[in-house]
Structure 1
Amino acid sequence: MHDRHTRRFGLGTATCLVMGNIIGGGIFLLPASVAPFGTVSLVAFGVLTIGALALALVFGKLARRHPDTGGPYVYAREAFGDFAGFLSAWSYWTMTWVSNAALAVAAVGYVHVLFPGHQSRGVDLMVALGALWLPALANFAGTRYVGAVQLVSTVLKFVPLLFIAVVGLFFFDPDNLGPFHAGGGSAIGGMSAAAAILLYSYVGVESAAMSAGEVRDPERNVGRATVLGTIGAAVVYLLGTVAVFGTVAHDKLVNSKAPFSDAVNAMFGGHWGGTAIAAAAVISIVGALNGWTLMSAQSPYAAAKDGLFPALFLTKRRGVPTFGVLAAAVLASALTVINYLTGAGGVFEILVLITTFSATVPYLLAAGAQIYFLLTGQRDKVRPARFARDLTLALVAFGFTFWLVAGAGYAAIYQGVLFLFAGILVYAWMAARRTGRLRAGAPDEGAPAGTP
């Protein structure tokens, strides 16, 4: 039951949650990352966008049937039972707090551009921890503050990126594009190689579904926000990348460390582009951290209601699961401290690899749940029930996510599976406790009754 003082997300705020979570800090390096493959990477981006939209539509349809906080977890558990639901929640929870640590470390690099004087490891650590805890404080204040921060940060990062994308078309020079296929081998191989880098650009499409319980009129607005947010992110990604490709010479772009800054400098001259883009990047990352901090609490909250995560995760105030926010902030902070104090880059790299695989588990299970509901004739779970269209969408979404797994690479899958299987111990412990309580005739710890 919702606190009377909770302001639930409207369509605009829910859309900003999706768009803000999709567009983190990666967009600012993306054009340089895919430039070595040539303009075939733009085709790869277009194909990926279709897959991401299919996944967005599937989440929207599933949310009509289950407009509850937890999104992918809820769908997996409904279709395949407790264990599949737990794996979805565990995997998603792992991904959120580990990637939050990575985002905070990325923010430090852009702060260096804005304030070039400081270079000490201690100051860097303080900046990274500030990037983690400021969004956590906004979350502790409640959903109305989370929504306000998300709205403002999304507008502040969307406007400069869209400005470069639109104005860049007036400075567009086809000679800057370079070859269509710059790498060796076939064009299809080049497209797949570029896609492997671009694939994770759309992680975050599930954000509105994950917070469906906090969205006003979720049966209508979750699907709309998911699709609108994904389209908004796609417009920024595609037009922005095209603008950079057309304004920065290909040989320079391949080696660029700040492609959007180079594009601004190429358009208007001078060297102020770096500062402007660094400011946009910091705002973008803080906005993404604000949204992902909320996501890190929603999945364990939903699982705790069913007794699959510890009951502490049920603690909720002003629409936000506060213990989940605190746990994620503490774990991400610990990772960040380890990264800076030990200089153990290898450990951090492994953890980042884990996130790339972990994001795909809830997606695969959600797409699989949609296919299951369709094939078992449970039409009420997938309204409106146009079987062929909905099954095609679900299969495309599953294929897109399967491509995500393939693009993650051997190392990411290896590390990710190890971490996923470690969760089996937690599941065994929680299942044993729940069975023991039921035998003793005690109420189920996961019962949502009495939670604020």
Structure 2
Amino acid sequence: MPAADTTDAAEPVPPSPADETPASIRPKGFGLAAATALVMGNIIGGGIFALPATVAPYGTISLLAFLVLSMGAVLLALLFGKLARRSPVTGGLYVYPRDAFGEFAGFLSAWSYWTMTWVSIAALAVATVGYADVLLPLGDNKVLQAAVAMAALWLPAAANFAGTRWVGGVQIVSTILKFVPLLLVSTVGLFFIDTDNFGPFNASGESVPGALAASAALLLYSFLGVESAAMSAGEVRDPERTVGRASVLGTLGSALVYLLGMVAVFGLVPHGELAESGAPFADAVDAMAGGHWGGTLIAAVAVASMVGCLNGWILMSAQMPYAAARDGLFPAPFARVGKGGVPGFGVLACAVLGTLLIALNYTAGPDTTFRVLVLITTFTGCVPYLLSAAAQLYWLAQGSRERVRPAGLARDLIVAVLSFAFSFWLIAGAGYAAVYQGVLFLFAGIPVYVWLRGRPAG
């Protein structure tokens, strides 16, 4: 590798049990195309289809927040690409803090990320209902709405039980299915924009910095998945090169679709209507094409997109605890792998926990879960980002003692510092309630760590 690659400056860490996975058990089914599709498929889903209405109450400042968020997401993609060159194994955001700071840091990262995945999956399944209602009106029937949300969760869970090759294939198909129509609608929709629909720049009543941070914290949900290739590095061919490329390409492609889509939706749907919309993209297409046929078509694409996104996220939900369980830092059943190369217990646990949250949503009230869960995922998702950035800073400090090119060290240092600051800023923007609830989720894992570490060996 070139001398500028400072992540290789320190002595490599001996492989842990999580790194020593036989190829016959963990088939590597993801090339660059599938890995990029996995990243894009996990990013583009509920975010692009549901969040325009969620951030509309902040005004068009949320478009500025999106631009800031896009730059931060690219920084994270670069960070994970560099870290994956050093540790090209499954469970990346757990492995990086573990190698740098020890088992407890690795466990906290794994627990926080795992919490984020199944909470995020529940929120995305709930968001699917709004577009399913356009195709098959569900009315106010909570039983039917819950059934649709659970079907959106369990169908991709079944695909995961079939193996990673099926997951990769589904990701490519679903990514193409949603990317092409979304890009077409977003670009054509720009010609139908009415500037009066955008509404005020800052409609929240908060300060500009406060509104910017708060809307960015919500919008982060739309970029969760930037780490997907790093998390599944053990299933990626030539991960030292492929993970970084797939992460950046997938993030840039998603950001382009998001930018066009957000601008089109804000310009096509009047601000007041957008803030109350359950299917903002369908409403935008109806405004552009007239009638309801266009909205029905985009609703079908949205449902397919969200189910495809859930397909990839369910895989992610099993990868982190799998890696930690191989090291004895998660309950042993999470390390069990089926014939298809997927940790089946991890998939099952995620689906069951997501089902419980879906049931809570439709028994506790109509609008009590989605926004709350989105903000909790911001906190629980950013904790592994922070720890991974800190791990990179640690390795750079170790590598700075070696003979490395100053330009390469400075470049990697800037990426790591900005990634850390970006993650910290998003946590602050999530608000007191989300941070409080997220900390409770995080601390709930400490007794699990104590039990795992304290039990007698063997």
User: Which residue identity does 2:263 align to in structure 1?
Assistant: V
Deviations 1:207-241 (A, max 9, x none): 11000000111001101111111111101111111
Matched, 1:428 2:443: no
**1:100 Cα offset (Å):** 1.6
- Which of 238, 246, 250 in structure 2 is aligned with 1:225? 246
Distance 1:406 1:85 in 2: 23
Distance 2:336 2:437 in 1: 31
Distance 1:388 1:155 in 2: 38
Residue 24 of structure 2: SS of its match in structure 1?
coil
- Which of 347, 365, 373 in structure 1 is aligned with 2:395? 373
Deviations 1:254-285 (A, max 9, x none): 55443322321222211223312221221121
Question: Counterparts in 2 of 1:253-264, with a 5 A limit?
Answer: 253-264=274-285
> Relative to structure 1, is the Cα distance of residues 425 and 343 closer, same or farther in structure 2, using a 3 angstrom cutoff?
same
Alignment match, 1:448: none
> Relative to structure 1, is the Cα distance of residues 127 and 41 closer, same or farther in structure 2, using a 3 angstrom cutoff?
closer
Alignment match, 1:325: 347
Alignment match, 1:47: 68
Alignment match, 2:110: 89
Task: Report % sequence identity.
Answer: 67
**1:358 Cα offset (Å):** 1.1
Alpha-carbon contact 1:373-1:379 (below 8 Å) kept = no
User: Which residue identity does 2:129 align to in structure 1?
Assistant: V
Distance 2:298 2:307 in 1: 14
Matched, 1:10 2:31: yes
User: Which residue identity does 1:237 align to in structure 2?
Assistant: Y
Distance 1:372 1:5 in 2: 30
Deviations 1:262-318 (A, max 9, x none): 321222211223312221221121111101110111001100111111222111132
**1:176 Cα offset (Å):** 4.2
Distance 1:185 1:420 in 2: 29
> Relative to structure 1, is the Cα distance of residues 182 and 426 closer, same or farther in structure 2, using a 3 angstrom cutoff?
closer
Alpha-carbon contact 1:64-1:218 (below 8 Å) kept = yes
User: Which residue identity does 1:52 align to in structure 2?
Assistant: A
- Which of 145, 151, 154 in structure 2 is aligned with 1:133? 154
**1:422 Cα offset (Å):** 1.4
Q: Give the superposed CA RMSD.
A: 2.6
Deviations 1:124-145 (A, max 9, x none): 3332222222111111111110
Matched, 1:147 2:168: yes
**1:178 Cα offset (Å):** 4.2
**1:327 Cα offset (Å):** 1.7
Alpha-carbon contact 1:248-1:266 (below 8 Å) kept = yes
Distance 1:299 1:385 in 2: 33
**1:82 Cα offset (Å):** 0.2
Alpha-carbon contact 2:25-2:337 (below 8 Å) kept = no
Alpha-carbon contact 2:186-2:264 (below 8 Å) kept = yes
Question: Counterparts in 2 of 1:109-128, with a 5 A limit?
Answer: 109-116=130-137, 120-128=141-149
Alpha-carbon contact 1:108-1:128 (below 8 Å) kept = yes
> Relative to structure 1, is the Cα distance of residues 178 and 355 closer, same or farther in structure 2, using a 3 angstrom cutoff?
closer
Residue 444 of structure 2: SS of its match in structure 1?
helix
TM-score normalised per structure 2: 0.87
Distance 2:78 2:346 in 1: 28
User: Which residue identity does 1:107 align to in structure 2?
Assistant: T
Moved more, 176-185 or 421-430: 176-185
Question: Counterparts in 2 of 1:231-380, with a 5 A limit?
Answer: 231-250=252-271, 252-317=273-338, 318-340=340-362, 353-377=375-399
TM-score normalised per structure 1: 0.88
- Which of 438, 442, 454 in structure 2 is aligned with 1:416? 438
Alpha-carbon contact 2:217-2:378 (below 8 Å) kept = no
Alpha-carbon contact 1:364-1:402 (below 8 Å) kept = yes
Which runs of 5 or more residues in structure 1 are unaligned?
443-452
Alpha-carbon contact 2:130-2:278 (below 8 Å) kept = no
User: Which residue identity does 1:49 align to in structure 2?
Assistant: S
Distance 1:410 1:136 in 2: 33
Deviations 1:303-357 (A, max 9, x none): 0111111222111132211121122112222333344456697688765554332
Tell me the number of residue pairs that the alignment of Structure 1 and Structure 2 aligns. 435
Moved more, 241-250 or 93-102: 241-250
Distance 2:277 2:160 in 1: 36
> Relative to structure 1, is the Cα distance of residues 238 and 83 closer, same or farther in structure 2, using a 3 angstrom cutoff?
same
